[in-house]
Amino acid sequence: MRFEIPDFDNVTTGFDPLPAERLTFQITKCEQRQSKAGNPKLSWELTCQSPGHEGRILFDDTSLLPQARFAVKAIVNASGAPQDASGFDIDDVIGCSVDAQLSIQSYCKACEVAEGGDVEKCSSCGTEMKRSNPVDGYFPSSL
Ligand SMILES: [Zn+2]
């Protein structure tokens, strides 16, 4: 079977990172999964509400390992959802809004090298960089 794809010789990732700013997101999904190393984590899906970026999806993973739970705590604190000494309910955080301070990271698959900031092409090999938005911190929603 043949697929006809317009402009197939010029495909790009089509992904422009969000700006390295503090943006507001609604928590739209939270699922428990396993990392590649087999450790438990929560995978969050956040939908941007900030003007100009509405509807953009951001994915973030927070480890559930004891030494890394601060990231889960940070997002639950920022959401304002109820929590107690033993945890929180995922249903309570879904729909809550949080602010996320984003940065931009660029990664070259060919060289397996990451560069900070929004770098379009790898400085070593010229390949198009895969860009992502790591979250530097979560804060209560400003909207
Ligand atoms: Zn490279």
Termini Cα distance of the chain: 49
Global pTM reads 0.84
φ and ψ at 32, to 5 degrees? -85, 130
* d(CA 107, ligand 1 centre) in Å: 8
Under 8 Å between Cβ of 93 and 77: no
Q: Record the tokens describing residue 138, joined without a space.
A: 């979560």
Task: Give the domain ranges of the chain.
Answer: 17-101, 103-137
Q: For 60-100, what is each residue's pLDDT tens digit?
A: 999 999 998 999 999 999 999 999 999 999 999 999 999 99
Q: In what order do the strands lie in the sheet with 57-63?
A: 57-63, 40-48, 22-34, 97-102, 135-140
* d(CA 113, ligand 1 centre) in Å: 7
* d(CA 134, ligand 1 centre) in Å: 20
Residues with CB under 5 A from ligand 1 (ion): 108, 110-111, 122, 124-125, 127
* d(CA 87, ligand 1 centre) in Å: 42
Q: For 40-71, what is each residue's pLDDT tens digit?
A: 999 999 999 999 999 999 999 999 999 989 99
Under 8 Å between Cβ of 17 and 131: yes
Under 8 Å between Cβ of 72 and 78: no
Q: What pLDDT band is residue 111 in, cutting at 50, 70 and 90?
A: very high
φ and ψ at 67, to 5 degrees? -80, -5
Short-list 53, 51, 18, CA closest to 133: 18
